[in-house]
Structure formats: structure tokens, C-alpha cells
């Protein structure tokens, strides 16, 4: 049975640290870190206008899925954010936005390993991930973790360019080594 929300407030892997989202401590440094528009090329709403809008987006939405948002640090530097979402007894990992300097370096894989490990430690029945069908980099990263493609779905959200988002969904079973 899934233990939710997870009791952990900080996750670590060497020089990487994921701290549970605290708007008072994290809003300004996270907003400052996520200034490159390329980060939000496939994000449903594009970049946040300011730290207040970012805080609103990171919070629980009325009627929305249960979420544990994390701020990702390398050493003392904020490099991005990612989240766990409750999906019944499964856990979805997503809403990951990392600074471009980390792309292609293996940092995302390390972050996802820690996230998968904590979800499994807390009794999830499996891991779900999704990425915009047009986001080759994100889809390649998910497949690289060993996740299996399950299906595509048309989302109830638009891309920043106004087109309808189509997501590719993946599953990572608990016996898959990440």
C-alpha cells in the first residue's frame, strides 16, 4: 500500500539534493534559475512571469492531483524542479524543468533514480512518466531509464504555441532496475 505523502523532506545522491518545495525559501531562487526560455519549450503554460506565478503553479490546484514538488540542487545551486504525483497506488514522476547546463550530463537520470527509489520505498505499485510527443529529449531520457511506452493521449492543455498537447505515457515496473 502506498504511503502518501512521502515522509521524506530531503533526498540526496552525492552532490545532488532534492528539497521538498517551500515557497518562502525556494520561489525566488528557483524562478531565477529557470530563466532560459528553452526550458519551457514544451511546457503547457510556458515560463512563469515571476516568482509569484511560479509559486501558484507549484501549489496544489483545486481538484488537481496530489503532488509533492521538489527543488533540485547541485551543491548549493538551484538547478531545477521535479515532482511526484499520486496516481492511485502508482506514482507519476514529472513536471521536471532543469537548467540547460544539465542537459545531456546524466543529472536528470540521477535525479530520477532517487525519485524512483523513494517512491518504491514508500510502497508504490509502479512508476508512470509522460512527455510531450514532440519533446524528443524528454522521451529519450524516459526510455533510457528503462520505462516502457504504453500509449499516447490527448491532454486537456495547450502548448505555448497554442497547439493541443499529445503526451506519450510510459510505465516503469518495480522490478526494473534504473
Domain parsing of the chain, residue ranges:
10-126
Confidence of residue 161 (pLDDT cuts 50, 70, 90): confident
Average pLDDT, the chain: 95
CA distance 175 to 178: 9
Instruction: Yes or no: say if 98 and 107 are a contact pair by the CB < 8 Å rule.
Output: yes
Q: In this structure, are residues 117 and 172 in contact, taking their beta carbons and an 8 Å threshold?
A: no
The CATH number of domain 10-126 is 3.40.630.30:
yes
Residue 34 has pLDDT above 80, yes or no: yes
pLDDT category at 169 given cuts 50, 70, 90 is very high
Which pLDDT value is given to residue 115?
Answer: 98
Contact in structure between 138 and 108 (CB atoms under 8 Å): no
pLDDT-derived band at 137 (thresholds 50, 70, 90) equals: very high
Assess whether pLDDT exceeds 80 at residue 60. Answer: no
**Residue 45 pLDDT exceeds 90:** no
Strand order in the sheet with 164-173: 10-13, 16-20, 67-74, 77-87, 90-98, 126-132, 164-173, 148-158
Query: Going along 42-163, which residue ranges are E strands?
Result: 67-74, 77-87, 90-98, 126-132, 148-158
> Which runs of E-coded beta strand occur in the chain?
10-13, 16-20, 67-74, 77-87, 90-98, 126-132, 148-158, 164-173
Residue 127's pLDDT is 98
Q: Give the list of residues 6+ apart from residue 23 with CB closer than 8 angstroms, or none.
A: 55, 58, 59
Amino acid at each position: 500500500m502506498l504511503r502518501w505523502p512521502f515522509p521524506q523532506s530531503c533526498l540526496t545522491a552525492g552532490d545532488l539534493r532534492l528539497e521538498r518545495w517551500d515557497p518562502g525559501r525556494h520561489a525566488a531562487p528557483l524562478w531565477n534559475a529557470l530563466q532560459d526560455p528553452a526550458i519551457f519549450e514544451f511546457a503547457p503554460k510556458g515560463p512563469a512571469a515571476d516568482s509569484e506565478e511560479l509559486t501558484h503553479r507549484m501549489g496544489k490546484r483545486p481538484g488537481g492531483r496530489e503532488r509533492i514538488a521538489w527543488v533540485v540542487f547541485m551543491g548549493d545551486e538551484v538547478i531545477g524542479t521535479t515532482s511526484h504525483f499520486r496516481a492511485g497506488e502508482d506514482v507519476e514522476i514529472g513536471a521536471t524543468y532543469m537548467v540547460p547546463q544539465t542537459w545531456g550530463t546524466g543529472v536528470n537520470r540521477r535525479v530520477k533514480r532517487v525519485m524512483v527509489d523513494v517512491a518504491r520505498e514508500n510502497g508504490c505499485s509502479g512508476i508512470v512518466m509522460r512527455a510531450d510527443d514532440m519533446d524528443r529529449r524528454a522521451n529519450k531520457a524516459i526510455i533510457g531509464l528503462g520505462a516502457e511506452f504504453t500509449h499516447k493521449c490527448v491532454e486537456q492543455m495547450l502548448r505555448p504555441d497554442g497547439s493541443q498537447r499529445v503526451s506519450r505515457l510510459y510505465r516503469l515496473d518495480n522490478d526494473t532496475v534504473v
